[in-house]
Amino acid sequence: MSTPEAAPRVEIAGLAKQYGELHAVRDLDLDVRAGEIVSLLGPNGAGKTTTIRMLMGILRPSAGRARIAGHDCFSDRPEVMRHVGYLPDEPIFYDYLTGREIIDFVAEMHGLDADVARTRRRALVKQLDFADALSDFAVNYSKGMRKKLALTCALMHEPSVLVLDEPTNGLDPFATRTVHELLKERAEQGASVLFSTHLLDQAERLSDRVAILFEGRLAAVGPLEDLRTRLAAGGSLEQVFFAVAANDEPEPSA
């Protein structure tokens, strides 16, 4: 659960991204505090990945601002990445490096001591159960294995913020459960976690707060129990989701 802090670790205010007449994201306000897990929930095309790419400085916002640990996500991207562990939905690697070489390269880029990096790598690959594949080239990895490798790279420098785009997409049920445990563990240690998903049960199981996106706008946000009471008469997240989908106007933020 979240702990009090003077300022959120992730701050999004009036964020927008427009391509011609298409509003991919519009007037988005959201924050994530230390020890909090917030899910971006929405159907395909809702603006989840676009939002995450603006947070990672990959896309320049058309309007508004995004800050992580007090740094502008676009203009101060190198400093932002010191604080963030980022997991894209479709990780891309140098195909003809082994899993071990990729992890060690990431650790070196973050300035980790070799012994510290080795200890962290062993613990993470054991937890994610792909130690046997470390000597294989990344080109031979399945989608699930690439996701495990990318998550290991994201966690190596023990970031204070995790930004994860569909973190369990492509994983089997055992690996999915492990990822859930990892995210809860990191949040309990004080990390801020923002992840996107279109899976209702995943958002319900993990989130301190749920932010529901539709057509690029924030349709509802708040603790799940509050959303249930306010929008679905105490019903399930599925009922909340479809109640929001049927509503023409966004609900007030919580």
Would you state the pLDDT for residue 254?
Answer: 42
Residue 149 corresponds to which tokens in the numbers above?
A: 């490798």
What residue segments make up the domains of the chain, in order of their start? 10-91+160-246
- Residue 252: which of 224, 228, 220 has the closest Cα? 220
Q: Is 104 left (phi over 0), alpha (psi -120 to 50) or beta?
A: alpha
CATH class (in words) of the domain with range 10-91+160-246: alpha beta
Sign of the CA dihedral with 225 first, then 227, 228, and 233 last: positive
Cα(203)–Cα(223) distance, integer angstroms? 11
Residue range 207-225, pLDDT digits in tens: 999 999 999 999 999 998 8
Residue range 61-118, pLDDT digits in tens: 999 999 999 999 999 999 999 999 999 999 999 989 999 999 999 999 999 999 999 9
pTM: 0.90
Would you state the pLDDT for residue 6?
Answer: 53
Question: Which residues is 217 bridged to in the sheet?
Answer: 214
Q: To the nearest whole number, what is the mean pLDDT of the chain?
A: 91
* Interval 28-35 mean pLDDT: 96
Res 125 pLDDT > 90: yes
Would you state the pLDDT for residue 237?
Answer: 84
* Interval 23-52 mean pLDDT: 95
